[in-house]
């Protein structure tokens, strides 16, 4: 009877540990998931700034 109770406790502890491990691994993978079709304001601003710098450089070369 005691052995069955200890085995059941160990199984519950193992189940909890495995669930927690799965949750932690999922949280660690989360930042690495690529977001599709999401354009932030910062990306648009950097693209616009790149185009402006490129145009200024081309105009400088032409003159």
Q: Where do the domains of the chain lie?
A: 2-62
| DSSP type of residue 61 | H
**CA–CA dist 22, 16 (Å, integer):** 10
Q: What angle do CA 55, 60, 63 make, to 5 degrees?
A: 125
**CA–CA dist 18, 1 (Å, integer):** 26
Q: What is the pLDDT of residues 30-40, one digit of tens each?
A: 766 666 777 78
Q: What is the pLDDT of residues 6-21, one digit of tens each?
A: 666 678 888 888 999 9
| DSSP type of residue 50 | H
Q: How far is CA 30 from CA 16, 17, 34, in A?
A: 21, 20, 9
């Amino acid at each position: 009877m005691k052995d069955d109770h200890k085995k059941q406790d160990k199984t519950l502890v193992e189940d909890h540990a495995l669930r927690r491990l799965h949750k932690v691994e999922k949280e660690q993978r989360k930042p690495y998931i690529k977001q599709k079709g999401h354009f932030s304001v910062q990306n648009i601003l950097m693209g616009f700034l790149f185009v402006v710098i490129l145009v200024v450089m081309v105009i400088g070369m032409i003159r």
